[in-house]
Amino acid sequence: MTKVTLEKTGSDYTGYWYTVEAVGHATGNQNVCTTVSVLLQALATWLVWKGATVSESRLESGDSRLRFTGKGSNVAFEMVYCGLRRLAETNPKYIDLIAKFQ
């Protein structure tokens, strides 16, 4: 099973930091693993293109983590969350999604 955690920290005053972490493999469902990888790779590429501040970027098989902030980061974070949430809803045996934000 892949465990995916999304977290938003900070405030309107200090600014927000966003974290997306995926650990493990969706053994038995290659499509879930591939989809998680594609979503995180797309996010990482977008962050570079938009010049976001990235404090942590690790994209390895079974162990990925992105931590970032900057203009438009909230939209990218929400888009990735929507994709991962839909994936978790349709494949609950293969992905555990933890959202730590309101």
Q: What is the pLDDT of residue 4?
A: 98
Domain count, the chain: 1
Q: What is the pLDDT of residue 5?
A: 98
What is the domain range of residue 82?
2-100
pTM reported for the whole predicted model: 0.94
Q: What is the DSSP string of 37-101?
A: HHHHHHHHHHHHHHT-EEEEEEEETTEEEEEEESTTHHHHHHHHHHHHHHHHHH-TTTEEEEEE-
Question: What is the band of 27 on the pLDDT scale with cuts at 50, 70, 90?
Answer: confident
pLDDT digits (tens, 9 = 90+) for 66-84: 999 999 999 999 999 999 9
CATH number of the CATH domain containing 75: 3.30.70.1490
